[in-house]
Amino acid sequence: MERFENKAVFITGASSGIGEELARQLVKQGAQVFLFARREDRLKKIANEIDSTQKKVGWMVGDVSSRSDLDRAVKTMVGTFGRIDIVVANAGFGVAGNVSTLSAEDYERQFAVNVFGVLHTLYSVESELEKSKGQLILIGSVAGYVPLPGNSAYTMSKFCVRALSGALQHEWKEKGITVTHLAPGFVDSDIRRTDNLGQLKADHPDPIPSWLRVPTEKAVSEMLSAIYKKKKQRVITGHGKVILLVNQYLPQLIPWLVSRGGVRARPEPK
């Protein structure tokens, strides 16, 4: 079913994982997509695989921590497709480590991408979304609800994204822009193979066991359903929903599991 027929979609962090799969499924459902990420080789490969004619896919290399990069990408996309209907602020990575072992610079680097990168994105696309009465999708995380040891920088950044989405849902309603916050749990992606400098360590094993990780295709299908229905927020993956329910109704269980060693800090990939 082509639920996104003739929709023009801008995706940040589109060179792998959730961003890449969003592009693939959106084109299959009738959309035109514009990919934005740092890795040129990956963007070229994905664009050619999705649509070798390049009629439904555009791309540009850039970093969400640079407002000028985003402004250029938005201008290029509008020049290519004529408009922007949906924006998915997906770019992000995770800084791992206990508070005492991290520096203020580690937190600044985390926020530069996961928080200020989102702000740069929404400022760059605001006027175009207002014209199209479009949608802004903010990719958060279950970590934005439940803090765990060794994950403070990432958790803080995703708490911020969740708060931002709530404020924007009020503020941008009068502009005719729908804002959706999506919070995935453990999904197959490169995020746990990326070090604290944002560099991919492709050979690093994913510390989350395979039985707990949700395939990217399945998670993205659930995300697109929420986007199509213009939901305000949606927790993605069954285990993510369970974690939130436990945190809400049995708030002492997770701290007990942590104290018993049942939840361990995620190590930084090396």
Confidence at 105, pLDDT banded by 50, 70, 90? very high
- In whole angstroms, give the CA distance from residue 37 to residue 51: 18
How crowded is residue 107: how many other Cβ atoms within 10 Å of its Cβ? 16
Lowest mean pLDDT among 95-104, 222-231, 244-253: 244-253
In sequence order, what are the beta bridge partners of 205?
none
Q: Name the class of domain 8-259.
A: alpha beta
Per residue in 151-177, is it b (16+ CB within 10 Å) or e — as a string?
A: bbbbbbbbbbbbebbeebbeebeeeeb
- Please name the residues in contact with 97: beta carbons below 8 A apart, sequence gap of 6 or more: 106, 150, 153, 196, 265, 268
Please measure the distance between the N-terminal and C-terminal CA atoms of the chain and give it in whole angstroms. 43
pTM: 0.91
pLDDT for 265 equals 65
- What one-character DSSP code corresponds to residue 232? S
By annotation, the residues acting in catalysis are: 154
Amino acid at 26: L
Domain ranges of the chain: 8-259
7-21, 104-118, 140-154, 250-264: segment of lowest average pLDDT: 250-264
Residue 196 has pLDDT above 80, yes or no: no
pLDDT at 176 over 70: yes
2-52 residue pLDDT tens = 899 999 999 999 999 999 999 999 999 999 999 999 999 999 999 999 987
Q: What is the pLDDT of residue 194?
A: 67
What's the pLDDT score for residue 210?
Answer: 65
CA dihedral 239, 245, 248, 250 (to 10 degrees): -90
* pLDDT above 90: residue 190: no
Alpha-carbon distance 223 to 184, whole Å?
9
Q: Which of 23-37, 57-71, 190-204, 243-257 has the lowest mean pLDDT?
A: 190-204
- The pLDDT confidence band at residue 188, using thresholds 50, 70 and 90, is confident
Q: Has residue 178 got a pLDDT over 70?
A: yes
Q: Does residue 201 register a pLDDT over 70? A: no
Which of 87, 84, 22, 63 has its CA nearest to residue 236?
22
Q: Does residue 147 register a pLDDT over 60? A: yes
